[in-house]
Amino acid sequence: MVYSYKTKGTCAREIIIDVDKDVVKDVKFVGGCHGNTQGVSILVKGMKVDDVISKLKGINCNGRGTSCPDQLAIALEKVKEHNLATA
């Protein structure tokens, strides 16, 4: 299922995530540092949602208190909440 998450506190404005059960199938960042967000997207493809969250949660970019990877982890937490609520 494809989910959209509006980011907070980062250069990227939105993250579009395709998740099948508990596996990340695809990630696209709208905005942000193109090379970095492209790299993160490729690295997490095929990973379990919980593994991505545990690796990326809390990464800080230049003292902002968040980052594009951290926002991806937060978005995946929202996806998990949504899936639990609709199960």
Residue 84's pLDDT is 84
* Mean pLDDT over the full length of the chain: 96
Q: First CA to last CA across the chain, in angstroms? A: 14
pTM, rounded to two decimals: 0.95
Q: What 3-state class would DSSP assign to 69?
A: helix
How does pLDDT run across 23-55, given as a tens digit for each residue? 999 999 999 999 999 999 999 999 999 999 999
Selected from 3.30.390, 3.40.1050, 2.60.40, 1.10.10, the CATH number assigned to the domain covering 2-86 reads 3.30.390
Spans of all domains in the chain: 2-86
Alpha-carbon distances of 52 from 15, 34, 37, rounded to whole Å: 14, 20, 14
d(Cα 19, Cα 81) in Å, to the nearest integer?
Answer: 13
How does pLDDT run across 47-57, given as a tens digit for each residue? 999 999 999 99
For every residue of 15-49, DSSP letters joined together read: EEEEEETTEEEEEEEEES-HHHHHHHHHHHTT-BH
